[in-house]
Structure 1
Amino acid sequence: MLIQLHVKNLALIEEIEMEFGPGLNILTGETGAGKSILLGSMQLILGGKISRDMIRENAPYALVELLFEVKDEKARSILKSLDIELEEDQILLSRKIMDGRSICKINGATSTVGQMKAAASCLLDIHGQHEHQSLLYGDKQLEILDVYGREKIAPVKEKVKKAYEVYRKCRLDLEAFDMNEEQRNREKAFMEFEIREIEKAKLIPGEDEELIRQYKKLANGKKILEALQFVHTSAGYDGEGAGELLGKGLRELGRVMEFDEELSGFYRTLEEIEGLLNDFNRDVSSYLDQMSFDDVSFYEVERRLDIINNLKSKYGQSIQDILAYKESREKKLETINRFDEKFQEAKEKLKKAEKNLDVLSNELSKIRKEYSKDLREKIIKGLKDLNFLDVNFEIHFEEKKNCTENGKDNIEYRISTNPGESLKPLGKIVSGGELSRIMLAIKSILADRDQIETLIFDEIDTGISGRTAQKVSEKMAVIGRHHQVLCITHLPQIAAMADTHFEIEKHVKGTETITEIHPLYGEDSIRELARLLGGAQITAAVAENAREMKELAQVHKNTRLK
């Protein structure tokens, strides 16, 4: 359940905190007061796109925080799979927006947008105008059916997806045989050339790294020699070399050590330094004796590197890649050499994969059709509850020409809203208001199966009034018995059903326009209902109607919903 929403510096909102309750939470307010901003803030937690324009003018950042209490075991399991630990059964999701970028946090720990979206998606579902329109498309209609029958449909659907991947690979493998004899011979000759070229190089994994090291050494041999000769002279025992000077120092200390015990420590330290210098000079001398910077060695290394780099430019970025490429060409060459046999094998594999896909797709289609009957009956009942009195509805199936990873079903929701009227696709018969009611009926059916506790409805009241509005309000109240519902509305019938009522207001503060939200209780809630009923001029009659509407809504909830 969504416990608290905190928004700061988002568009017209300076800073608000809202504490939501269980059941039906209603938000009302004048047009343009900022209801859409509130909905947008929640969309941000669900991974919505950000822009600099979202940040309140002259503010450094915008912040949205949602605090949830999570008791549902399925949601807890999903969060655990995302490596998210609850703190006292709670989770805090936050997103801070700054000049074209954002920082997401879950319980104070930085996360990705994707991880936060995955967490939020199992906790709340936003149902807005865009989703109404998506109901016109077959893919969405099929998705709804699959969600409704998830328990049996999902496992078979996953099998179909895997079978389709196998089928697709087999089809691509068979397409590779689509060449005539002349093309095969040309391809064969080219592959044999590539294999010979790689084999001739006799590559050894890692040798290019050693060759590069040798090349650097040989290419800079003169510089190395000059530097080491200078070092050897400077550190040696000839003339003014460091070794000679250290020796003199030791002899001088040796003559005076007996006069002060502390000098013996200096002597030992200098002796150790001389020993280290002796070892160093010996190593340098050995390196100089073994040095070989002849042109022949340099040429051989350079030539070998040229061969390897040429192969890299053709076959891969490393020796391992080149050898892997050679292995793949050898396999393909074997296929060409045994063309007829391999071609027959590929055809048999495709035939087998196609048959398996067809069997699984038929199984999936059968299960979908079984669930579609039950879903149809529930949708009809839900629509009648929403004042579609003479409605008829069906889920029409057609078989696709070719199977996909989603099976072979194309479905279409068809509806008739008047007696004697033939069933037609949704897009050809329903208005925007009717479409929103159909989606509400479907949402109420799926709500128990979704197990998402918090549902948010926006523009659910588009194009409705009177008795239909009352029916919608009753349906919202029913959903609110089993879920936490947040609903943005301008209809008094829906607002009257509120378990918790909020008012969104826009007003001028100094030179700025800000949006504020506050809960309404008792008479304040009735006054807002009166405004929704009668507009700016609230008469005594309108106020009395508002009071009666609130009382009747309470009676309905106390009797019909018990």
Structure 2
Amino acid sequence: MLYMLTELSIRDFAIIDQISITFNEGLTVLTGETGAGKSIIIDAVQLLAGGRGSVEFVRHGAKKAEIEGLFTLDRKEHPIYQVGRDFGIEISDEQVVLQRTITSNGKSICRVNSKLVTLGILREFGKTLIDIHSQHETQSLMDPESHLELLDLYDPEAMKATKKEYSYLYERLSSLKTRYKELSENEQEMAHRLDLLEFQLQELEQANLEPNEDTALEEERMSLANFEKIYTALQDAYNALYGEQKGLEWVNTARTALDVSSNFDSFISDKAEEISNHYYALEELTYSLRNYSESQQYNPERLNEVESRLNEINRLKKKYGPTVNDILHYMAKIEEEMEEITNKDSHLAKLSEQIEEVKKDAYLEAKQLHDMRVENANALMDEIKNELKDLYLEKATFSISFQQTNHDEAKFGEQKLHKNGFDRVRFLISTNAGEPLKDLHKVASGGELSRIMLALKKIFAKHQGVTSVIFDEVDTGVSGRVAQAIAEKIYQISSSSQVLCITHLPQVAAMADTHKLIEKAESNNRTATKVEELTTDQQVVELSRMITGTKLTETAKDHAKELLDMALTFKSK
């Protein structure tokens, strides 16, 4: 395994007092009674990945809930390194540490490698490292609006450059259309806007501002306001250097002393030359101090002028910008906008030309996105067909339908662009032979949806490079041979990504490389969650409990051992 969640530490979170869980490669299964805290651990991981927090997560009586996760990376190609560069966070020692703290007053504190970050930045790191799949996520299959996003997950790297270029063109097109609408609509508003701009321009022109004037005036004010200190400093420095028994004379004495013997020793000769250079530099500095001191004049009238000018500039800053340069930039924008409004018709014609030009470029990129999606859709449908066979949906037919589109370049305006191009797709399925293809939500049951999403995850795992895939009770509503097929599919996913799985199915639990039992315990009249990694014998007992409920029987134990043997046989293949 090249990268994975290695350590998870949780403190004062819901019913969890304090636990630290070490995770291994492959498939880790979490089991336990309902209410023991299995899903709470997944909730903690979701918060670590940037999920929405709440004060309700803070354990009763505690000041804050703390979650920390250590991720190890064994190669520099992982996309998390680019995320780190994007946000100026160094990733060293091939490790990433995500931290999330929620205080009892609702404040959320996020850190990545000990550096404070916003929740949005934490979320960017989280989605690159963790992929959580729950029963709720399965419902996204029911929403056709999410299908295009799911399709684009098939080969995101191949589409990255084209999507980036299209996004730039789409934003540019939207901006041009907005400006066209503002300029073409509501003559009365435009007239009022022009009056306002004329007033602002007149006020700024009367101010007669110069670039960097505020900075220069503030420096001058500082000098004038501290005239006495400046003058005293100059005089003291000059007097310390120039005159009888002063610094410059003593340096000259040292220079003369070395000059006498400079012919007898190379070291003395070098130092004599060096001290001579210092002497002449100090002499020049002394003259500069004297001349600058003589140029100083206290001018209270000028100080008043500077204060008055700065007050005027500060008044303008409150209205037009934080610096004089910003105000001048705003002034240039005013002149440009006034010219646009005054010559509205010519600008509307120019905007219309720009809109058509950018629209054409945007459609070309959207068409390229469409072609790539069609190619990906065909490959994805073939892969899903094979995966569904393994999950005992061998009679199912899965299809990705594209909305009817007209790609004739002469009729570009007929297709409505959106932020992802012009494509709208729907996932269709027929679960029985001879039945027509229909939308998923009209055909598929809960168990079938879980299997379809699991098939997608199996395919996407090798494309996305996510560090850890987490399944939270995705096997609800299935049993028998389908449960065994789901267990095998989840194990196959763990061959390319670390998998953490909460399950109530003994078939899935038997497939685990590491089996952890989640239990509740009472201490000091408080309930807390504890986690224990099971040995093989303990795993047999836990599997027996999952099979029979509460009462353990020899038959259940035999069945549990049989499940473990079947799992070992499957893994060996």
Q: Which residue of 2 aligns with 1:131?
A: 137
Change (3 A) 1:318 1:380: same
1:491-510 matches, within 5 Å, as 491-510=505-524
SS at match of 1:375: helix
Change (3 A) 1:60 1:378: same
Residue 114 of structure 1: how far off its partner (Å): 4.1
Quick one: which amino acid aligns to residue 510 of structure 2? A
SS at match of 1:495: helix
Task: Work out which of the residue numbers 537, 545, 553 in structure 2 matches 1:531.
Answer: 545
Structure 1 residue runs of 5 or longer lacking an equivalent are: 216-282
Tell me the distance in 2 between the aligned counterparts of 1:12 and 1:182.
62
Quick one: which amino acid aligns to residue 121 of structure 1? K
Tell me the distance in 1 between the aligned counterparts of 2:195 and 2:110.
57
Q: Which residue of 1 aligns with 2:267?
A: none
Structure 2 residue runs of 5 or longer lacking an equivalent are: 222-293, 406-413
Q: Which residue of 1 aligns with 2:74?
A: 71
Instruction: Tell me the alpha carbon deviations over residues 410-466 of structure 1, each in whole angstroms, 9 at most, x when there is no partner.
Output: 111011111222111112222222222111110000000111232111011111111
Larger Rg: 1
> Is the 2:53–2:102 Cα contact (8 Å) retained in structure 1?
yes
Task: Work out which of the residue numbers 409, 426, 430 in structure 2 matches 1:416.
Answer: 430
Change (3 A) 1:106 1:307: closer
Tell me the distance in 2 between the aligned counterparts of 1:301 and 1:67.
58
> Is the 2:89–2:113 Cα contact (8 Å) retained in structure 1?
no
Change (3 A) 1:186 1:495: closer
Residue 518 of structure 1: how far off its partner (Å): 0.5
Quick one: which amino acid aligns to residue 47 of structure 1? G
Q: Which residue of 2 aligns with 1:17?
A: 20
Quick one: which amino acid aligns to residue 146 of structure 2? K
Q: Which residue of 2 aligns with 1:231?
A: none
SS at match of 1:68: strand
> Is the 2:184–2:348 Cα contact (8 Å) retained in structure 1?
no
> Is the 2:381–2:399 Cα contact (8 Å) retained in structure 1?
yes
Instruction: Tell me the alpha carbon deviations over residues 39-64 of structure 1, each in whole angstroms, 9 at most, x when there is no partner.
Output: 11211211223333323333344332
Q: Which residue of 2 aligns with 1:437?
A: 451
Instruction: Tell me the alpha carbon deviations over residues 240-289 of structure 1, each in whole angstroms, 9 at most, x when there is no partner.
Output: xxxxxxxxxxxxxxxxxxxxxxxxxxxxxxxxxxxxxxxxxxx9xx86xx
Tell me the distance in 1 between the aligned counterparts of 2:71 and 2:187.
67
Q: Which residue of 2 aligns with 1:168?
A: 174
Q: Does 1:347 align with 2:361?
A: no
Residue 19 of structure 1: how far off its partner (Å): 2.2
Instruction: Tell me the alpha carbon deviations over residues 449-502 of structure 1, each in whole angstroms, 9 at most, x when there is no partner.
Output: 111232111011111111111110111121122222111000111111111111
Change (3 A) 1:180 1:26: closer
Q: Which residue of 2 aligns with 1:226?
A: none
Q: Which residue of 1 aligns with 2:127?
A: 121
> Is the 1:170–1:353 Cα contact (8 Å) retained in structure 2?
no
Q: CA RMSD in A?
A: 3.7
Tell me the distance in 2 between the aligned counterparts of 1:90 and 1:206.
46
Change (3 A) 1:504 1:401: same
Residue 12 of structure 1: how far off its partner (Å): 1.8
> Is the 2:81–2:91 Cα contact (8 Å) retained in structure 1?
no
Residue 369 of structure 1: how far off its partner (Å): 0.8
Matched positions, count: 493
Instruction: Tell me the alpha carbon deviations over residues 79-122 of structure 1, each in whole angstroms, 9 at most, x when there is no partner.
Output: 652533232x3333333443233444444555554444433432
Could you state the TM-score of these two structures normalised by the residue count of structure 1? 0.77
Quick one: which amino acid aligns to residue 34 of structure 2? T
Task: Work out which of the residue numbers 486, 508, 511 in structure 2 matches 1:472.
Answer: 486
Task: Work out which of the residue numbers 482, 496, 499 in structure 2 matches 1:485.
Answer: 499
Residue 179 of structure 1: how far off its partner (Å): 5.4
Q: Which residue of 1 aligns with 2:255?
A: none
1:23-102 matches, within 5 Å, as 23-75=26-78, 77-78=81-82, 80-81=84-85, 82-87=88-93, 89-99=94-104, 100-102=106-108
Tell me the distance in 2 between the aligned counterparts of 1:498 and 1:323.
67
Residue 313 of structure 1: how far off its partner (Å): 7.1
Residue 317 of structure 1: how far off its partner (Å): 6.3
Instruction: Tell me the alpha carbon deviations over residues 9-37 of structure 1, each in whole angstroms, 9 at most, x when there is no partner.
Output: 22222222322222111111111111011
Change (3 A) 1:309 1:383: same
Could you state the TM-score of these two structures normalised by the residue count of structure 2? 0.76
Tell me the distance in 2 between the aligned counterparts of 1:36 and 1:411.
33
1:216-365 matches, within 5 Å, as 319-365=324-370
Tell me the distance in 2 between the aligned counterparts of 1:523 and 1:187.
80
Tell me the distance in 2 between the aligned counterparts of 1:341 and 1:184.
15
Tell me the distance in 2 between the aligned counterparts of 1:496 and 1:306.
77
Q: Does 1:518 align with 2:522?
A: no
Percent identity of equivalent pairs: 38
Tell me the distance in 1 between the aligned counterparts of 2:113 and 2:315.
54
Residue 407 of structure 1: how far off its partner (Å): 0.3
> Is the 1:394–1:414 Cα contact (8 Å) retained in structure 2?
yes
Q: Which residue of 2 aligns with 1:402?
A: 416
> Is the 1:78–1:122 Cα contact (8 Å) retained in structure 2?
no
Q: Which residue of 1 aligns with 2:376?
A: 371
SS at match of 1:482: coil
SS at match of 1:85: coil
